[in-house]
Structure 1
Amino acid sequence: MEEPPEYGQCRPAPVLRRSVSRYTGYRITGPPGLHHGLPSGHLTLIVCLSGTLDVVAMPDRARPPVSSVSMVAGLHDAPAVISHDGRQYGVQLDLTWQGARTLFGVPAGELVGDVVDLAALLGRRAGELADRLAGAAGWRQRFDVLDHVLAGLADDRRAEPPAEVTRAWRRLAATGGRLPVGELARELGWSRRHLGERFRREVGLSPKTAARVIRFERACRRMRSAARPPLAEVAAECGYFDQAHLAREFRALAGTTATGWLAEFPSVQDQGGGPAPG
Structure 2
Amino acid sequence: MKLIRYGNPGQEKPGVIIDDKKYALPGFSGDYDEDFFGGDGLQKLSEYIASHKNELEELPEDVRLGAPVFKPSKIVCIGLNFADHAKETNAPIPAEPIIFFKATTALTGPNDNVTIPRNSVKTDWEVELAFVIGKKASYVDLENALDHVAGYCLHNDYSEREFQIERGGQWDKGKGCDTFAPVGPFIATADELGDVNNLHMWLTVNGKTMQNGSTSTMIFDVPFLVHYISQFMTLLPGDIVSTGTPPGVGLGMKPEPVYLKAGDVVELGIEGLGTSKQVLKAWSPPAS
| Alignment TM-score, normalising by the size of structure 2 | 0.26
| Alignment TM-score, normalising by the size of structure 1 | 0.26
Q: Which has the higher strand share?
A: 2
